Amino acid sequence: MDLFRSSARHSTSSKNVAKERLKLVLVHDRVNVSSTFLEMIKGDLIKVISDYMEIDEDNLEVKMTKTKRDEDDTLVPALVANIPIKRMKGAIR
């Protein structure tokens, strides 16, 4: 069972890294971020998601946009990801 725990810690760590990256994007006050920054986020998303599903990396899109908050219609930055899924890995049916 230690092997399972080690694997769970790794995926939790990857999850936390991706979560922190997304927080950085969401609190960033401008939509215009560098393409290098978006590529870094894209790479992190691929790493995390690939543990759970096979994705079409060639057609994966990540972009920044603005959206209105429901509470007050203030424009805020938003990260939009279009991730085509080829198949789920180890999904319980």
Residue 23 lies in a domain: yes
3 DSSP β-pair partners:
none
Measured distance CA(62)–CA(46) in Å, rounded: 11
Residue 64 lies in a domain: yes
Look up the domain containing 72 and give its range.
2-87
Residue type, 66: K
pLDDT tens string 46-88:
999 998 999 999 999 888 888 888 889 888 888 889 999 999 9
pLDDT top residue among 6 and 36: 36
CB 48 within 8 A of CB 15: yes
Residue 93 lies in a domain: no
Residue 92 lies in a domain: no
The number of folded domains in the chain is: 1
pLDDT tens string 21-31:
776 666 554 56
* DSSP collapsed to 3 states, 78-92: EEEEECCEEEECCCC
Q: What's the pTM value of the predicted model, to 2 decimals?
A: 0.55
Residue 10 lies in a domain: yes
Residue 35 lies in a domain: yes
Residue 62 lies in a domain: yes
